[in-house]
Structure 1
Amino acid sequence: MEMSVTEKFKELFNELEGCDEVDQKQKIEEMKRMIDEMNEKEFESVFTTELFENIHKMIILKKFSLKDAISLLMCIGSFNASFIILKSSFESSSLRHIFEIIIIDEEKKKERKNERLLIDLCECCLLLNNYNVDLSKDLLGICIRYLLKVALKKEEDKETQKEVETAILALSCIRKLQKVPKELFLNEIKEIVFYQQEHHNLTPLASRFLWLFLMDRLDNDESLEDVFVNELHLAREVARELEELSKCVDWTRKEKEKENRGKEVKKKFIIRRFLYAFFFFFFSSSKLWNEEFIELIMSIVQVLRASRDNHKETFESCINVIETAAGKKVVKIEAFLKGGAVDAVLEEIQRPTLDDKIAYNGLIFFMNVLYRLKDEEKDEMEEAKRKATKMELFEKMEEEGYEDCIFGFCNCKVESLFDEYIFVPNVERLFVHY
């Protein structure tokens, strides 16, 4: 009977201790190839706290060089970061604590500082962080400083591009909720983004994770919103990234028909990370932004339509993001019309296979839009423009009988996102009083 990939990996790892340096390197390369073949469950079953403790012991006993350990850990970390593995294992290991001590001690040296070691250990600590442990202020400052130094490299040879990609991937692992003072990164990040926009020097993966890092920083610092949106053109750039990612996924294949592994699956996970970041951005922001948000809404709608039949989790995330955006003054109402969101949601609520959660989100989307139109009237919005938007919205809903479809849900009981049944409120008055 053929051994599973996890059994082969464990067997190779157990053989490391008795190998010479050359054999160890060969086995490590083979183990790294195996990691790329694993799915999420296989990965979690192998990379336990016990494994990290064994790596630490082998380093102490000089049966495993620190350089080779880092090589293996970087591969583990890249998988961990790309697939958002949330199981804690490295954080609770002694290896993590030793790495952090080495980083801080090495940084304190005034002479003969090993910068390459510092960068490697910073990347390991962040890539294996799992998003659920706050880094100390000192460690965070060191990691950001050294990794940005790598990310600022502009050479376009493959080796440098890979270094930059790994550094940005590691930076994107800093927790969304962890406060990162903008003084630590803003000027450098702006330089990286501006250079990328002009020269396209970053790999696709590096570019995507750069924007994820930026969107995560918005959670704790509203002062960054204007810089990110109007200077760095966040909405436009992220829309393009999402569009390119969507093209790389075969949405026609059902998730259960394909193994949860490979480059395509990694791209799907990155799409979900983008959608997760959008949700919090729209939820927390209170400003009304520029026309580039039409492009962003269009790209989300594109993923929504593509994922509708076979990728339920991604599809529900898209609906959730659109509904949240409609309830906030981040995106103008016209963007939902021009970006195709109104059409997409209208299509969903009349599908014969409509489920409670989609019905709930769809109806809340329209109620948010209608309330927004009323609020904008109170805010003395340009009347002709408001009336034109309202007329376009209502005509679109009336053409195919969508208005009747929405009324059909009035006072119906549907299951909300909070797993409890609610009554959909009367929406007739919103239509009647406009």
Structure 2
Amino acid sequence: MGNVLLLLKHIVHHKVLKNAWTRSFEKSLLCQRFEQMIIAESKKMDEKDEKLLVDLCECYLLLYNGVPSLDLILMCIPNLLKVALKKEESEETQKEVEMAFLALHNIGIGGLRQELYLNEIKEIIKYHQEHRNLSRLAYRCAWKFLIDRLFFDENLEEVIVNDLYFAREAAREIEELTRNVDWKREKEEESEEELALLRWIESLNFFFEMCKLQREEFSGLIGSVVQVFQATKEKCNGIHYHCVYLLETAAENKAIKVDAFVKGGAVDAVFQGIQRPTLNEKMAYESFVLFLKVSRRLKEEEDDEMEEAKRKVSKRKVTEKMEEEGYEDIITSFHEKFDILNRRYYHGLSLNISDYFISV
């Protein structure tokens, strides 16, 4: 059994690193066997094999697609948190902690009471911020576990944003990963660093969907996403598309001021991107949708915050700037493509696209 579990842990660790899926485990006899063993070991009052129980919980949660039963989750969480709380910096301990967090982050968005996990996760994240004892993967998994809980518990946002400084930490992690990626490599398969970036971007997308707090530091976080967007523009790979989808999510969220969005460099980066001769239709469409969402948000904020006379002056200045820099010609060149984009992707984009850029 020890060898079987060791082999499975290697498999599920590799699975997470490669963003792979395990098909149909939850319908298998192996899944039933794991559940029986976890329940039996958890119920033991004496001579409980804690290492065996942790190994079973890790393999079970990492092989499971979807959200397991709440009873099984409640049996697994205390055992995994006990491992995740280890603070020794040895390589062996770091691997144990990483596996525990990989299992925790795979639980998904199921509702859990704060008293089951919050104090432990806060302690782990704060300790890492002071001592940098976690692996990069473990740290990202700790954040994902916490962010996933927002779906059922919006009160966590105050802890995530104000107490644990999520925007600052996420921006730092993304920027470090961006610097470590060899963007010139020709291999089609994405590197571990690129996959790590993709996982952060996916978590950010969920966070921005749930976010209700307004904070100045969001512009820095958006700026770190813009760095990834620009670094991937030549490849135009999955990460590049995920970046523009994330920026669209941020643009829709009324808790994130357009000022923070613009200061982060998103508008300039995407506008520069649509001028590339190699731009494909899908990215062109997503770019225009992004401008549409930003311009709508800006219009809403102008109506709320600016007098009509001031808004007209601001619009005139932007129009003059566009004429000086030749943006009007670029906009006109897209008119012919817009009808095609509307038919293929979406029916809500106005042909009067110059309004998008004037508003922005």
After TM superposition, the score normalised by the length of structure 2 is 0.88
Q: Confirm or deny: 8 A CA contact 1:413 1:423 kept in the other structure.
A: no
Q: Which amino acid letter does the alignment assign opposite residue 314 of structure 1?
A: I
Q: What is the match of residue 51 of structure 2?
A: 116
Tell me if 1:85 matches 2:16: no
Q: What is the match of residue 208 of structure 1?
A: 140
Q: Once the 2 structures are TM-superposed, how far is the Cα of residue 289 of structure 1 from its aligned partner?
A: 2.4
- SS of residue paired to 2:347: strand
Q: Once the 2 structures are TM-superposed, how far is the Cα of residue 339 of structure 1 from its aligned partner?
A: 1.7
Q: 1:314 aligns with which of 227, 239, 246?
A: 239
Q: Which amino acid letter does the alignment assign opposite residue 60 of structure 2?
A: C
Tell me if 1:334 matches 2:266: no
- SS of residue paired to 1:116: helix
Q: Distance in 2 between matches of 1:245 and 1:210?
A: 17
Q: Confirm or deny: 8 A CA contact 1:373 1:386 kept in the other structure.
A: no
Written as runs of structure 1 = structure 2, the 5 A alignment for 1:17-416 is 66-129=1-64, 132-175=65-108, 177-256=109-188, 260=189, 265-285=191-211, 287-380=212-305, 400-406=325-331, 408-409=333-334, 412-415=338-341
Distance 1:380 1:266, change over 3 A: same
Query: Which consecutive unaligned segments of at least 5 residues does structure 1 have?
Result: 1-65
Distance 1:161 1:429, change over 3 A: closer
Q: Which amino acid letter does the alignment assign opposite residue 346 of structure 1?
A: F
- SS of residue paired to 2:27: coil
Q: CA RMSD in A?
A: 3.0
Q: Which amino acid letter does the alignment assign opposite residue 161 of structure 1?
A: Q
Q: Distance in 2 between matches of 1:219 and 1:415?
A: 34
Identity, in percent, stands at: 49
Q: Distance in 1 between matches of 2:127 and 2:153?
A: 24
Distance 1:390 1:315, change over 3 A: farther
Q: Once the 2 structures are TM-superposed, how far is the Cα of residue 427 of structure 1 from its aligned partner?
A: 4.0
Q: What is the match of residue 50 of structure 1?
A: none
Q: Confirm or deny: 8 A CA contact 1:288 1:329 kept in the other structure.
A: no
Identify the range of structure 1 (165-174 vs 220-229) with the bigger mean alpha-carbon deviation: 220-229
Q: Once the 2 structures are TM-superposed, how far is the Cα of residue 332 of structure 1 from its aligned partner?
A: 2.1
Distance 1:74 1:352, change over 3 A: same
Q: Once the 2 structures are TM-superposed, how far is the Cα of residue 163 of structure 1 from its aligned partner?
A: 1.2
Q: Once the 2 structures are TM-superposed, how far is the Cα of residue 196 of structure 1 from its aligned partner?
A: 0.9
Distance 1:358 1:395, change over 3 A: farther
Q: Once the 2 structures are TM-superposed, how far is the Cα of residue 384 of structure 1 from its aligned partner?
A: 12
Identify the range of structure 1 (186-195 vs 201-210) with the bigger mean alpha-carbon deviation: 201-210
Q: Confirm or deny: 8 A CA contact 1:349 1:405 kept in the other structure.
A: no
Q: Which amino acid letter does the alignment assign opposite residue 278 of structure 1?
A: L
Q: Confirm or deny: 8 A CA contact 1:152 1:192 kept in the other structure.
A: yes
Q: Once the 2 structures are TM-superposed, how far is the Cα of residue 378 of structure 1 from its aligned partner?
A: 3.6
- SS of residue paired to 2:184: coil
Q: Kindly name which structure, 1 or 2, has the bigger radius of gyration based on alpha carbons.
A: 1
Q: Confirm or deny: 8 A CA contact 1:161 1:202 kept in the other structure.
A: yes
Q: Which amino acid letter does the alignment assign opposite residue 96 of structure 1?
A: C
Q: What is the match of residue 49 of structure 1?
A: none
Q: Distance in 2 between matches of 1:381 and 1:152?
A: 51
Q: Distance in 2 between matches of 1:161 and 1:301?
A: 31
Q: Confirm or deny: 8 A CA contact 2:285 2:345 kept in the other structure.
A: no
Q: Distance in 2 between matches of 1:233 and 1:123?
A: 28
Q: Once the 2 structures are TM-superposed, how far is the Cα of residue 118 of structure 1 from its aligned partner?
A: 1.0
Q: Distance in 2 between matches of 1:423 and 1:246?
A: 34
Query: Which consecutive unaligned segments of at least 5 residues does structure 2 have?
Result: none
Q: Confirm or deny: 8 A CA contact 1:360 1:414 kept in the other structure.
A: no
- SS of residue paired to 1:350: coil
Q: Confirm or deny: 8 A CA contact 2:291 2:356 kept in the other structure.
A: no
Distance 1:321 1:167, change over 3 A: same
Q: What is the match of residue 33 of structure 1?
A: none
Q: Distance in 1 between matches of 2:138 and 2:160?
A: 17
- SS of residue paired to 2:25: coil
